[in-house]
Every structure is written in structure tokens, then in C-alpha cells.
Amino acid sequence: MAVFISDPDAFERLARVEGPAWAEHTQRVWDLYRSAESFFAFLSAWTEGRAELGEAWKLGSDVKLTTVYGEAGYARYAVLDTSGEIVLLASSTRPERCARAAAEGFTVRA
């Protein structure tokens, strides 16, 4: 099982791993600043078809997207440009969070 940026429940599943404070902060920062390091930046780029066209993950024409950061900026999630799969990088967080992410269906990679 995997979680993809285009899944209708992807944000809710990520919020169950990262917590409600993270979800509220992520939504607020996106609404105010259009942060490039957020779930919504990747979702926007995917919806615009940038990744599917083989272009680098970008928000608009000039901001390159790199990572979705979890709570307090520790957990790092990569969004694969070939499929849109959201992958947790295990080395970026505690084993407990890796277990929660795996239980929600996220791929966890070393």
C-alpha cells in the first residue's frame, strides 16, 4: 500500500501521522505564504501537471520544491516526481513516527 499526493485523503493521513497542530500550521502557512515546503505546494504542482510533464517540481515558474516537512521540521517526506508517491525518510525521524506512517500506508525508506 502507498499514499500518493493525488489521493483525496492524503493530507488527512499525513495529519494522523504528524498531528493536528502540524495540520493547522501547514494549512495556515500555505494560506498566508504559499510555502514551497508544504504538502499543498506539491499538490498544487501535481494538479498543474508539472511532474507528469517531466518538469522539476516547481511552484509557479521559479520556486523549486524539495521536501514536505513534518512536525517541527524533523520528519522529511519526499514526493516522487514519477508517481506522486509520498515517502517518509526514516533517517529523519523517530522509529515511533515511522511506525505510525507505515500504519497509515506510507512507504518508509532508510
Instruction: Flag whether 2 is in a domain.
Output: no
Number of domains the chain is built from: 1
3 inside domain: no
Strands (E), the chain: 58-59, 63-64, 68-69, 76-79, 86-89, 107-109
Task: Give the C-alpha separation, 27 to 98, whole Å.
Answer: 23
The domain containing residue 56 runs over which residues?
A: 10-109
Residue 28 lies in a domain: yes
The 10s digit of each residue's pLDDT in 89-100 is 999 999 999 999
Q: Is the pTM of this model over 0.75?
A: yes
Cell matching residue 20: 493536528
Query: In this predicted model, what pLDDT tens digit does every residue of 60-89 receive, in sequence order?
Result: 555 566 789 998 888 999 888 778 899 999
